Amino acid sequence: MSLPGKHLLISLLLAAVSPLVCLAQNGGGASPSTTGTLHSTSTLVLVPTLVTSPGAELVHGLQAEDFALIDNGVAQKLHVEEGLREPLAVVVLMQIGGSAPRQFQNYAGVCTMLDYALGSVPYWVSLVTFDSKPEDRWPFSRDVENLRKAFTSPKPGDRGAATLDAIEYGLDWFDNQHPRGRRIIVLISDEHFAHPAEQSQRIVRRLAETNTAIYSLNYSAETQWLKDQFTQERHGNPPLAFSPDHPAVIGTFDLKAPLMAALGGMQANAAGEMASLSGGVSLPFGNRKELEDQMMTFANDLANRYLLSFQPTSTSAGLHSVAVSIPMHPELRISSRAAYWRNAPAPQN
């Protein structure tokens, strides 16, 4: 991980911001209709967990007693809920500015794949496009087909890509229309974007407090540009003569710009880091087939996670670390959230 990525991760963790959500939180404050946070007298922590074999095959049929869960070093009594059947609200944030128009040809199949991915649960879905600011917004609907034209014929935006502003806009849209329940943001964007520490901290904490995970379908503008430099005809440089006895070489290639682009492509994947911190997944793609393959990964992840839940024995506020294991089958691979945030209890009158 490069230094910018480390700075983002460290600043978020030092601010005690968590990728895991607390479905029911202790404490007072604003009502759920304005904050999207659920309040009750007890705290139920949800830990969606994906289990695969060493060969990456999904593992089904595990029971609560097969899992072990540690909260801040203390073993917890956990339950496995009966599937992820709770209604799901989804906001798709689609970048249309900056480098995005180069990717529009890949988006045509997203609507079909999204319908397939969400078909296993009751859902509401909306779409927000963004460039240097959030642009068009579609109302929540129970039918993904209402978004088909937006995916097949997107309109290019300006040269900007305010990704964090779009995420905050999406969270506000949830609060207005879907204040309770499971939430997912599907972010389709360049993997690189500016991430000021203060705004990043605010967003990730809101993600944790409102049961929102980000699934990031991200591309690298630098990688695409670099590929173009080597695959498309270029005549940007003047003819170069090696010898008076031989004709000049036309269109010689200047490696400086591609090398700089390659270095840029090695910088931190901010979209992927934001997804991981929210409890979601980073799904990179480079062409239409890869995007559709990653949508299949999203569908499998969404439909096949175990939903572990527990009521913490500790009432301490702040960041709690969580570790999930399967003691009798250490060879299995586990993908789950690593922490959650607990609010301080409301003062008693």
CATH of the domain at 147: 3.40.50.410
* One-letter identity of residue 89: A
> Do residues 322 and 338 lie in contact, with contact meaning Cβ atoms separated by under 8 Å?
yes
The answer to whether residue 12 sits within a structural domain is yes
> Do residues 21 and 279 lie in contact, with contact meaning Cβ atoms separated by under 8 Å?
yes
The answer to whether residue 230 sits within a structural domain is no
Task: Supply 110's token pair.
Answer: 């997203």
- Ramachandran region of residue 101, left (φ > 0), alpha (ψ -120 to 50) or beta? alpha
pLDDT of amino acid 35: 32
Task: State how many domains the chain has.
Answer: 1
Task: Supply 291's token pair.
Answer: 């995007």
Half-sphere exposure of 92 (CA within 13 A, CB side): 28
pLDDT of amino acid 245: 58
Has this prediction a pTM greater than 0.75?
A: no
How would you class 341 by CB atoms within 10 Å of its CB: exposed for 0-12, middle for 13-18, buried for 19 or more? buried
From first to last of its 349 residues, the chain has per-residue pLDDT tens of: 333 443 444 334 433 333 333 333 333 333 223 333 333 334 788 888 889 999 888 899 999 999 999 999 999 999 997 655 567 899 999 999 998 998 999 998 899 989 988 887 788 999 999 999 999 999 999 999 999 999 999 999 999 999 999 999 999 999 888 777 778 999 999 987 776 888 887 887 788 777 788 999 998 754 444 444 444 554 455 554 444 555 554 444 444 444 343 334 334 567 777 787 777 888 899 899 999 999 988 888 888 888 898 999 988 887 788 889 999 999 999 888 777 777 777 666 5
The answer to whether residue 302 sits within a structural domain is yes
**H or E, element range at 299:** helix 288-304
The answer to whether residue 42 sits within a structural domain is yes
Q: Show the CA angle centred on residue 305, arms to residues 151 and 107, nearest 5°.
A: 10
What is the spatial distance between Cα 171 and Cα 204, in angstroms, rounded to a whole number? 11
The answer to whether residue 245 sits within a structural domain is no
By residue range, what is the domain housing residue 71?
3-220+272-342
What is the spatial distance between Cα 277 and Cα 131, in angstroms, rounded to a whole number? 23
Query: How many Cβ atoms from other residues are within 10 Å of residue 19's Cβ?
Result: 25
The answer to whether residue 231 sits within a structural domain is no
Say which residues have a Cβ less than 8 Å from residue 232's Cβ, sequence separation at least 6. Answer: none
The answer to whether residue 81 sits within a structural domain is yes
What SS3 class is residue 124? strand
What is the spatial distance between Cα 181 and Cα 123, in angstroms, rounded to a whole number? 11
The answer to whether residue 116 sits within a structural domain is yes
What is the spatial distance between Cα 345 and Cα 28, in angstroms, rounded to a whole number? 7
